[in-house]
Amino acid sequence: MTVNGEERSLDLDPRTSLLDALRDDLRLTGTKKGCDHGQCGACTVLVNGRRINSCLTLAAMHDGDEITTIEGLGAEDNLNELQAAFVECDGFQCGYCTPGQIMSATGMLNEAAEGMPSHVSADLNDGVDLSDAEIAERMSGNLCRCSAYPFIRKAISSVATKEAAE
Amino acid sequence: MKPFEYVRVNDLISAAGALDEKSEIIAGGTNLLDLMKLQVMAPDKVVDITRIPGLDKIEPKGEGLRIGTLVKNADLAADPRIRTGYPVLSRALLAGASGQIRNKATTGGNLLQRTRCPYFYDPEMACNKREPGAGCSAKGGVSRMLAILGTSEDCRAAHPSDMAVALRALNAMIEIRRKNGDTYQLAMDDFYRLPGDRPDIETNLKDGEIITAVILPRPVIGVQSYRKIRDRASYAFALVSVAAVATVEHGLIQNASVAFGGIGARPWADLDVNAFLNGKEPSAELFGEAADLLLTAAITDEGNAFKTTMTRRALIAVMSEVTGLREASVGSDRVGEIA
Amino acid sequence: MNKHLKMDAPQPRVLDETRQGILGKGISRTEGPKKVSGSATYAGDNHPDGMAHGVLLRAGITKGKVTGFDESAAQKIDGYVGLFHGPKFIRNNAQGMADEAPVQPDCEVHYHSQPIGLVVAETFEAARDAALAIKVSYDEEGALVDPKSAPQEDQGGPDVGDLEADMGRADVTVDEIYTTEAQVSAAMELHGSVAQWNDGKLLLQSSLQMLKFNRNEIADSLGIDPENVRILAPYVGGGFGSKLGIGADAVSAAIAARDLGRPVRVIMPRQTVFDAVLRRTETEQRVRLGARSDGTITSIGHDDLVSNLEGEGFAEPTSQASQFLYAAPNRKMQQTVSRNHRTPSGSVRAPGEAVGMLGLEVAMDELAERLGMCPVKLRLQNVPERDPDSGVPFTAHSLTEALKRGAQEFGWKDRKANGARREGEWLIGMGVASAARKNMLLPAKARVTLDGDKAVVETDMTDIGTGSYTIFAQITAEALGLPIENVEVRLADTDYPEASGSGGSFGASSTGSAVFLACQSIREEIAAKCGANDFTLKDGQVTAGGKTTALSDLLDAPLSAVGEIEKGQTSEDHLSSGFGAHFAEVAVNEVSGEVRVRRMLGVFGAGRILNEKTAKSQLVGGMIWGIGAALTEEAAHDPRTGHIITRDLANYHVASHADVPEQIDTILLEERDDYANPIQAKGVGELGISGAGAAVLNAIYNACGVRVRSFPATPDKVMAGLDAM
Ligand SMILES: Cc1cc2nc3c(=O)[nH]c(=O)nc-3n(C[C@H](O)[C@H](O)[C@H](O)COP(=O)(O)OP(=O)(O)OC[C@H]3O[C@@H](n4cnc5c(N)ncnc54)[C@H](O)[C@@H]3O)c2cc1C
Ligand code: FES
Ligand code: FES
């Protein structure tokens, strides 16, 4: 598979989740484990551009796939727009859910751009207006126990607004 | 998780060939792996069907649609044909799980997801579904998430799917491929078994059989509605959910089809309730009577008795929106004549 | 060159005189770029060479003895290394500041799913499999798991005046029972440790909040000298009390690593975190209030029943805030502890206030209703002049101002009669509650070294999301007149001076004071060097007697000082507490009883704010915990085994994004607490939760007229009230 643009090949126990493969075999520990059961979102990565929980999939199933993790977005000294917005808006406290929030938001913005509706969309066919309530519903698969939620959404919304303007 | 053999197949024939009584298909993996990590499920072989071409399509079939088993929940909810013709299905899907999970979860996997009964999930607790004859520790336990209809002495688990509730209301059929390559269709009530004394056998799917698609009949004109009541605003399973479609003609209810989640051993529908509604003038009293009819057989305990009242109130509210007695809220969408 | 301060007298506001202008500013977290890029390393991210993986074994009974382990099936597993158990294993996490080993029960089991051993294997997959392959045999004994029928201990409590007599005389009374369910911290980072030994010394990378205590706890558990333990915890993924004391992960990893002569990592699965990390007890609270018809409260009673396991010294101090929040001549608060075999309880964010104020502040709402009085006014009218129990004066006290300011900013005057505001099927209402959280000062040390115009701060304090990295840099930059980029903060290594640790909201003010004192010492040194007492420091330069010199020119060698703080007389003759007011607007669905919080405002007086941005984040985080406590959080116990049934994040509902409104705002009142510490700051981490849930619950009542007294107010409970109407 390709991870953050780099071809990686691994010889793994079939039981290895994509999450554990990333963390323990590729030593990409930016992706976090908060539950290992799809219940928190800390392990969110992009597979072929779409967000998924890397804990609930086998690494072996991703032969040939393109994986993007937090390390693939921007390094400490070269943050992308969304990462920088999280810092600016204080979209985290302990930082543990943060890589998952950022990856999820990246995927979510793509979904919204494709016009995917959400549970709170008043009209299923009327296009997506990323209000705070829409962002909140779409990001609800990412728990944050520090409860930085409003600030996370401010960060996402600032980037969404900028993107929409462009 | 026990060690297993991982087999990736590229067509249905090899899929069927690879399947035996100790193997499991893996599609999205979001339910199977969840349970395998806890050793609630422990197949010797895992057959990956995700690379089989063609199973991820939504295509016209008769006056309705054929949804391939590998269509992702997210894609199904967003498909324009579903949104306009079967909005109750979009709504139910969007009410379930999270964006990430819906991006992985598949149609077939969603139908076959197993109960969220906490006693089933914990190998330290006795469970007849996990281990036939072991006993049911949910009885006398914490029962908030358990079913009140279709249960048995041996099992009180609820079916957790939202999608399946909408499909039940839409009278969807499940297309199954036999081991020999034939396909046949089952109505949902024939697909899901009630627990009885064998709660471990949940469907009539036989070894080597594969779900290939779900077939939707032609859209029901009128308002369709899905309402899910849950313990938090998002990312939680239903306490009670109701899916309903109906047409109102000359002031009378037609084509009423109502299904329920959170309360049944399977995605729950009661044909007597649908029949009772049809041909009548909509009113809150009528819907209350329908609820009484639905709930006469309910078996509850202290921990889930609230579900009868909650179901009743939800049914009245949903049917009121579907029949135009009340203004539609988010979750109710109108389906017009399809050109 | 050290500076030690015992807080025996109020302290001058030095930090209001300094010129750098960085303290209090809402600058972004200095470690932020690491956290958003995934390069901050948490305990479980460590992976030393040769590391083996451990998975904890859980007891399948509630009470009894382990009589044997059958490893035969596990031994057949590829990569199986071995099973570890024995007398050094601990029963549960150490209580906060225990400073010694928790109970080491050997083969005894005291609650269901107690960790009883560690399975180690070459890979995580093999270890997880092996842990389920080991058959454990037990001698099972009967267990009492119901707090009501288990043996109870009377813990006493304040008893002033004659509550019973006054309740009989009072014009208006409230005498109600409120219950709260067990809760958990559920920090997003799983509790985990990586242990490795070198020359008889243990290096432990663990997810912990209070390292100086943790070091002694682990040493005592293992029976080794604390000198031989070094703990590192540079990043901790939330704690909220759950990581105050060491856990089974740390002790078992250390034991296995020593035996195996290789590093071992143990990360608790989420379910084990529920099973075996200290929870917040369920409570049953009887609140009694008596008042004259003019709204003067004459009686406050707050009795509570909580549980904990035998041998645990902690009991949720449920009535802590009730003891000083309002004045009343007759006061009685009686605590009872049930000794049962549920997962033991300990500190979870704002122990005491978080649940006690739900009872008290909902009762206040009921009293206002019965008096026919505005709930804000009732509170304002009963703000005490002095601590009602001890009679000592309060330090800075902003309850009145917070209530008034909040009512105004929130639009409280637009609050309608119960059930009078509706939008479609949603009924809208407003609620208010006071906030209070007692302020504490713990002994703390920190070293600051100034080399030219660059400073380094070193202390074993942790940053669990609380902003320690950032605010210590701000304090240092402010006190020494340096650009913030010139300050490096090194934390969470037991080789550094011993800090307070992070807990009880005392971390920033206690250890921040130590940092400040170290800077003070350096400032004195600088003064001596320029030969002037009157000087200013700014941007790396010192100005004295009209002359400006660069610090790098002034100093020919680095200056280093350790600051040390401890509490003194001021905490005897004053009561220091954070205060505030919460306002909430909710919508109640008239069909389902589902509740949505639409907006919230918290107004707080918490002394000097060290960083406006991070302080607000923590306060808002606390308010959101209040939403969870009011509406969704419930650790349900199986009635037969006591086992927690909602033991994962799908069944235990912490607030999700969708439960939190966009409008959740805070106002920080300008305040200085001169008696608290030399930086005049008080805790913020727990003040935000204290009372927040009660504002939500009171808003439900205003919205629809349903009074729920058993919390959380889940849809079924609200719906039952609606259905009865
Ligand atoms: C945290 C969390 C929250 C959730 N919340 C909700 C919710 O609110 N509402 C809801 O409805 N669901 C919810 N889900 C469940 C989710 O919808 C299911 O996990 C998902 O739909 C399963 O689909 P899958 O493709 O991943 O199935 P898999 O895990 O791949 O498979 C599930 C089962 O189906 C079998 N199977 C799959 N495909 C076929 C086939 N074609 N033929 C025969 N057998 C097949 C597999 O062998 C397996 O036994 C939640 C899940 C999680 C983890
Ligand atoms: S670790 Fe994958 S969702 Fe929690
Ligand atoms: S920042 Fe701590 S959990 Fe989200």
Domain regions of chain A by residue span:
2-72, 81-165
Cα(C148)–Cα(C346) distance, rounded to whole angstroms?
A: 19
- The CATH number for B293's domain is 3.30.390.50
C388-447 pLDDT, tens digit each: 999 999 999 999 999 999 999 999 999 999 999 999 999 999 999 999 999 999 999 999
How many angstroms separate the Cα of C15 from the Cα of each of C193, C366, C500, C670? 39, 44, 21, 14
ipTM of the prediction greater than 0.85, yes or no:
yes
User: Over pLDDT 70: what percentage of chain C?
Assistant: 100
Write out pLDDT tens, residues C573-619.
999 999 999 999 999 999 999 999 999 999 999 999 999 999 999 99
Which residues form ligand 3's pocket by a CB distance below 6 Å? A 92-98, 144-146, 148; C 188, 238, 465
The reply to whether B165 falls in a domain is no
User: Could you tell me if residue B229 is inside a domain?
Assistant: yes
Q: How far is the CA of B71 from the centre of ligand 1 (A)?
A: 12
Of all residues in chain B, the percent with pLDDT exceeding 70 is 99
Residues of C in contact with B2 (CB under 8 A): 129
Residue with CA at minimum distance from ligand 3 atom 4: A144
Pairs across B and C, CB distance < 8 A: 101
Contact between A117 and B4 using a beta-carbon 8 Å cutoff: no
Question: For B18-29, what is each residue's pLDDT tens digit?
Answer: 999 999 999 999
* For range B325-333, the mean pLDDT: 95
Interface contact C37-A132, CB threshold 8 A? no
**Nearest CA owner, ligand 1 atom 13:** B97
Task: Report phi then psi at A22, rounded to 5.
Answer: -65, -45
Local structure of C578: helix, strand or coil: strand
The Cα–Cα gap between C581 and C695 comes to 9
pLDDT-derived band at C504, boundaries 50, 70, 90:
confident
- Tell how far the Cα of C274 is from the centroid of ligand 1, in angstroms: 25
Distance from C-alpha of B76 to C-alpha of A80, rounded to nearest angstrom: 32
Q: Which of the other chains make 3 or more beta carbon contacts under 8 angstroms with chain B?
A: A, C
Give Cα A91 to chain centroid, integer Å: 14
Q: How far is C524 from chain B (nearest CA, A)?
A: 56
Rounded Cα–Cα distance for residues C114 and C96 (Å): 19
Q: Does domain A81-165 have CATH number 1.10.150.120?
A: yes
d(CA C604, CA C594): 29
Q: Which of C188, C190, C620 sits opposite A150 (nearest CB)?
A: C620
- Residues B97-114: tens digit of each pLDDT: 999 999 999 999 999 999
pLDDT in tens, B284-323: 999 999 999 999 999 999 999 999 999 999 999 999 999 9
Instruction: Tell me the shortest Cα–Cα distance from A61 to chain C, in angstroms.
Output: 17
With beta carbons less than 8 A apart as the criterion, state whether C197 and C462 touch: no
- Does residue B112 belong to any structural domain of this protein? no
**H or E segment and range at residue C137:** strand C135-140
Task: For residue C129, list chain B residues with Cβ-Cβ distance below 8 A.
Answer: 1-3, 39
Q: Which residue is closest to C238 within chain A, CA to CA?
A: A94
Q: What domains are there in chain C, each with its CATH number?
A: 43-61+63-141+186-276 (3.30.365.10), 283-439+576-724 (3.30.365.10), 441-572 (3.30.365.10)
Asked whether the beta carbons of residue A15 and residue B87 sit closer than 8 angstroms, the reply is no
Structure confidence by residue, pLDDT tens digits, B264-285: 999 999 999 999 999 999 999 9
Asked if A145 lies within 8 A of C31 by C-beta distance, the reply is no
pLDDT category at B338 given cuts 50, 70, 90 is low
Q: Is the CB of B103 less than 8 angstroms away from the CB of A104?
A: no
Q: Quick one: which atom of ligand 1 is closest to the CA of B26?
A: 30
Does B113 sit in the ligand 1 pocket, CB within 6 Å?
yes
The CB of B317 under 6 Å from ligand 1? The reply is: no
Q: How far are the Cα atoms of A47, A119, B67, B70 from residue B58, in angstroms, in the given order? A: 22, 21, 5, 10
Q: For the segment C103-122, what is each residue's pLDDT rounded down to a tens digit?
A: 999 999 999 999 999 999 99
Residues C639, B141: C-beta atoms closer than 8 Å: yes
Q: How far apart are CA C474 and CA C519, in angstroms?
A: 12
Residue C232 structure tokens: 């590192």
Gap between the Cα atoms of C109 and C103, Å rounded: 11
Interchain contact, C656 vs A147, CB within 8 Å:
no
Judging contacts by C-beta atoms under 8 Å, the chain C residues touching residue A98 are 35-36
Centroid of ligand 1 to alpha carbon of B212 (angstroms):
15
Asked whether C537 and C19 are in contact (CB, 8 A), the reply is: yes
> B291 is in which domain, residue-wise?
223-335
Check: CB of residue A41 under 8 Å from CB of residue A54: no
Of the residues B8, B19, B31, which should be mutated to test ligand 1's pocket, given the most ligand atoms within 8 Å of the CB? B31
Three-class SS of residue C474? helix
What are the DSSP calls for C617-682, one per residue?
HHHHHHHHHHHHHHHT--BPBPTTT--BSS-STTTS-PPPGGGS-SEEEEEEPP---TTT-TT-B-
> How many Cβ pairs closer than 8 A exist between chain A and B?
116
Contact C422, C587 (CB under 8 A): no
Instruction: Please give, rounded to a whole number of angstroms, the shortest distance from the CA of A48 to a CA of chain C.
Output: 20
Nearest chain C residue (CA) to A77: C33
Cα separation, B303 vs C672, in Å, equals 50
Chain B residues whose C-beta is within 8 A of a chain C C-beta are: 1-3, 37, 39, 116, 118-119, 121-125, 137, 140-142, 144-145, 227, 229-237, 239-240, 306, 309-310, 313-314, 316-317, 327, 329
C-alpha B104 – ligand 1 centre gap (Å): 9
Q: Which of B6, B30, B235 sits opposite A14 (nearest CB)?
A: B6
In degrees rounded to 5, what are phi and psi of residue B29?
Answer: 80, 0
- Other Cβ atoms less than 10 A from the Cβ of B305: the count is 15
- Token readout for A100 is 């998952």
Neighbour subunits, A (≥3 Cβ pairs < 8 A): B, C
Nearest to A36 among B8, B28, B37 (CB): B37
Q: Which residue type occupies C605?
A: G
Instruction: Among B119, B232, B329, select the one facing C653 at the smallest CB separation.
Output: B232
Name which of A87, A19, B126, A153 is nearest C34 in CA terms.
A87
State the architecture of A2-72 in CATH terms.
Roll (3.10)
| Beta bridge pairs of residue C493 | C232
Confirm whether B254 is domain-assigned.
yes
Concerning whether C686 is annotated as a catalytic residue, the answer is yes
Domain count, chain B: 2
Would an 8 Å CB–CB cutoff place A140 in contact with chain C? yes
Residue B200's alpha-carbon distances to B57, B157, B160, C456, in angstroms, are 31, 11, 16, 63
Three-class DSSP labels, B56-70 = CCEEEECCEEEEECC
pLDDT digits (tens, 9 = 90+) for C301-331: 999 999 999 999 999 999 999 999 999 999 9
- Name the residue of C29, C31, C34, C188 whose CB sits within 8 Å of the most ligand 3 atoms, as the mutation to test its pocket: C188
Atom 26 in ligand 1: which residue has the minimum CA distance?
A: B28
In a domain, B106, yes or no: no
Contact B124 C647 (CB under 8 A): no
Gap from A82 CA to chain C (nearest CA, Å): 9
Q: pLDDT under 50 in chain A at which residues?
A: none
End-to-end CA distance of chain A: 33
Kindly list the residues of chain A whose beta carbon comes within 8 Å of any beta carbon in chain B.
13-15, 17, 36-38, 41, 44, 50-53, 56-58, 60-61, 63, 104, 107-108, 111, 114-125, 136-143
Residue C158 contacts residue C609 (beta carbons within 8 Å): no
* Mean pLDDT within C366-387: 98
Cα–ligand 1 centroid distance for B101 (angstroms): 9
At B339, the pLDDT band (50, 70, 90 cuts) reads very low
User: Could you tell me the two tokens for C93?
Assistant: 């996490």
State whether the beta carbon of B262 lies less than 6 angstroms from ligand 1.
no
Ligand 1 centroid – CA C54 distance (Å): 29
> Chain C residue with minimal CA distance to A26?
C47
Show the DSSP H helices in C180-321 as ranges: 211-222, 248-260, 270-276
User: Is cis: bond before B219, omega within 30 of 0?
Assistant: no
The percentage of chain B sitting over the pLDDT mark of 90, rounded to a whole number, equals 99
State the nearest Cα–Cα gap between A67 and chain B, in angstroms: 14
Do A81-165 and A2-72 have the same topology in CATH?
A: no
Residue C714: list chain B partners with CB under 8 A.
231
